[in-house]
Chains A and B, each alone.
Chain A
C-alpha cells in the first residue's frame, strides 16, 4: 500500500503486469506476432481481413475471459465497478473501437509491445492516447460528470 494513495495496488499491479508481459513475450517469440488486443479482436470477429491467422486470433481472444475467470473466482478479490449509466459505455466503446483500428493499436499493442520495442510510432501513439485520456477525464471532472 502507498500511504498517499490508499486505493492503489502496486504489488498486484506489478505482478499482474509481469503476467501480461509474459503473455506478450510468448506471442512474440512463439508466433512472431504482437499481442495487440484490438487487432486480434478485429481479426477474430472477421472485422479485419488481414493480420494474424484466424485460429490464432480466436484462441487469444477467448483466452482473455477464460484466463480472467479463475482469478476472479479463486481469489475473490477482483472488484469491478462500472459507470451507472449505459451511455458512457456505448460512447466509449464506439470511440475505442474506431480509434484503435484507425490508430493501429491500443494499450497492449502500442503500450506494452511498442514501448518495450522503443518504436517511435508506438511512443507517439501511447503519449497521445494517454494525454487524450487525462484531458478527457479532467474535462469530465471539471464538468461535474464524475
Chain B
C-alpha cells in the first residue's frame, strides 16, 4: 500500500481518537493538570488506552526485520539522557499547562475551532523554528 496513504490513515485515526476522547478540549486537558482544582482524570484513561495497542505493536515489531511498507525501521534512540531533553520537556510542560494544548490536539482543533486555535498553532510553529536558531548546549 502507498506510504502516503498509510500515513494519512494513521493521522485520520489519531485525529478521530483525539476528538472522541475529549482531548481536543483545552479546558479538559488543563483540568487534568489542575490537581488542586476540579481535577479531571480523563487524560489518564486516554494514555492508558493508547498504550495498549502500542505495547502489542512493539512486541510485533521485535519479530519483524523491516516494516510492512517501508525499507527499514527509522527509530530514535532510547538511552541518552541529556540537558536538551530535560529543558525541552520542562518548557513544553509549562506551555501545555498554560494553554491546555499540545501539538496533536492543537492541529486536530484546526477542524473543530479553527479561529480559536490559530494563535496557538502559529505561535507553536514560531517556537519550533526558533529552536533551530536558539539552541541549548548539551553540557
Contacts and interface: CB of A to CB of B under 8 A. Distances in A.
A80 B96 CA distance: 16
Nearest to B97: A136
A19 B125 contact: no
Most buried by A among B61, B80, B100: B100
A122 B36 CA distance: 26
A111 B8 CA distance: 21
A3 interface: no
Which are the 8 A-B pairs with shortest beta-carbon distances?
A63-B11, A17-B49, A103-B88, A16-B21, A97-B127, A132-B93, A92-B99, A93-B123
A65 B33 contact: no
Given A96-B102, A106-B103, A125 B97 contact: no
A124 B77 contact: no
Interface string A90-105: 1111111111111111
Given A32-B67, A41-B103, A15 B131 contact: no
Most buried by A among B11, B55, B104, B136: B11
B93 A131 contact: yes
A19 B13 contact: yes
B131 to A, nearest CB: 4
B7 A80 contact: no
B98 A88 contact: yes
Interface of A: 2, 5, 7-35, 37-38, 41-42, 45, 47-48, 52-53, 55-57, 59-72, 75, 78-83, 86, 88-117, 119-122, 124-126, 128-138, 140-142, 146
Most buried by B among A78, A126, A141: A78
Interface residues of B, number: 121
Interface string B72-112: 11111111110011111111111111111111101111111
Nearest to B83: A102
Given A19-B13, A93-B120, A83 B4 contact: no
A141 B37 contact: yes
B67 A102 contact: no
16 contacts: A16-B21, A24-B14, A32-B74, A37-B14, A59-B8, A63-B15, A78-B19, A89-B123, A93-B124, A94-B124, A96-B103, A97-B129, A109-B76, A110-B89, A124-B86, A128-B90
A33 B136 contact: no
Nearest to A35: B10
Contacts of A137: 30, 33-35, 37, 97
Contacts of A120: 78-79, 81
